[in-house]
Amino acid sequence: MTHTSPVAPSRVFRVGLIGYGLAGSVFHAPLIAATEGLRLDTIVTANPERQQQARTEFPDVRIAAAPDELWARADDLDLIVIASPNKTHVPLATAALKAGLPVVVDKPIAGTAAQARELAALADERGLLLSVFQNRRWDHDFLTLQKLLADGELGDVYRFESRFERWRPELKGGWRESGDPAEVGGLLYDLGSHVVDQALVLFGPAASVYAESDVRRPGAEADDDTFIAITHTSGVRTHLYASATTAQLGPRFRVLGSKAGYVKYGLDPQEAALREGERPTPGKDWGVEPEDLWGRLGSGESPVTGGGHPVPTLPGAYPAYYAALAAALQSTAENPVTALEAAAALDVLEAARRSARDGVAVTL
């Protein structure tokens, strides 16, 4: 499957990437490099090992030790991508916008919805694009579910269950597991950012939120087992799970409607492919799942025992985010994920944190 921009680019936009950890090296750099109309110009990392990794993987790209080097060359750049730790997102996005540069920020854009809206206001004031990297909108199962909903295969949806579960009984360390509120760590804001965003895209704004959030692993500081229940203004009830302590994984999606249900196990293959060094290239299949992993659609029986019928999973399409972004920079397409959409997800995450702390349902 080949991914191209909605409109052939009339120019090439030069990109500065801040951060070369997991997000920068596995997701952003390869996808930027694969996108027509974008050119990876500079990678910023102070870590000597990551600098060497970046030079090896992208020998023609500049390496900088600090973001200030980008602001000094603002006239030579067209876009800044922020893939650094969560606590740096707001100050770096603010600095980039004030330097006159459009910005992509990895999720979560900020630690609070108010900060996200302040960034959106600054971008509007400067007339600059501000986008949020919510790659899970281009997961294979999410795209398949969107099509099933559009085709009316499920009827009226009553309940949506979404799980992003892992079995990681040992801590890995790092800021993502930090209990310091300034780090914006924990699974609520990490994996929770994905599952909440998907739920809002599928079923609309949240009316109320209830959550349970626990710290399960010995020595852990931040939440590692979280459940979020959303009642949408549309009437759909969403149950979301984000966990690192799940010894038996549940279905990625279970969607129940008036006509049928859809059950899908397993994660999108794109992250694993990118981690293994595979790259999306024209003419090469990308994000394709084997038939034996397809989800099942039906009613009255358990898909685990063969109920319903298999539904072909659409190919995942992470390259489509940056293709859409390149088109948005040309003003030929809309911003693929806005800061205000990210702020709405942060409203839910903040409500979930309050709900888990106080043991109450929170009305939005």
Look up residue 162 and give its DSSP letter: E
| Bridging pattern class, strands 130-133 and 225-232 | unpaired
pLDDT (tens digit per residue) in 218-264 = 999 999 999 999 999 999 999 999 999 999 999 999 999 999 999 99
By C-alpha distance, which of 15, 13, 139, 27 is closest to 83?
27
| Whether domain 13-135+321-334 has CATH 3.40.50.720 | yes
User: When comparing pLDDT for 182 and 123, which is higher?
Assistant: 123
Q: What is the full DSSP assignment across 210-257?
A: EEEEE--STT--S--EEEEEEEETTS-EEEEEEESB-SS---SEEEEE
337: nearest Cα among 106, 153, 118: 106
* Residues paired with residue 225 on neighbouring β-strands, in sequence order: 214, 243
Residues of the chain with pLDDT > 90, as a percent, come to 90
- At a CB cut-off of 8 Å and minimum separation 6, what does 348 contact? 196, 200, 206, 209, 228, 230, 364
Residue 200 scores a pLDDT above 50: yes
Reported pTM:
0.94
Least confident stretch, 7-21, 87-101, 200-214: 7-21
- CA-CA distance, 297 to 216, in Å (whole number)? 34
pLDDT of the residue at 5: 43
CA 237 – CA 258 distance, rounded (Å):
14
Find out whether 322 and 35 touch, Cβ atoms under 8 Å. yes
- Buried b / exposed e over 227-257, threshold 16 CB at 10 Å, is bbbbbbeeebbbbbbbbbbbeebebbbbbbb
pLDDT at 115 over 50: yes
| Domain residue limits, the chain | 13-135+321-334, 140-317+347-363
Judged against a pLDDT cut of 90, whether residue 77 lies above it is answered with yes
- Chain segment 259-284, per-residue pLDDT in tens: 999 999 999 999 999 999 999 998 88
Fold of the domain built from segment(s) 140-317+347-363: Dihydrodipicolinate Reductase; domain 2 (3.30.360)
Residue 199 half-sphere exposure toward CB, CA atoms < 13 A: 40
Please check the confidence at residue 105 and state whether its pLDDT lies above 60.
yes
pLDDT (0 to 100) of residue 16: 98
> Is the model's pLDDT at 173 over the cut of 90?
no
Q: Is the pLDDT of residue 304 over 70?
A: no
Phi, psi of 357 (to 5 degrees): -70, -45
| Tokens found for residue 191 | 């994996």
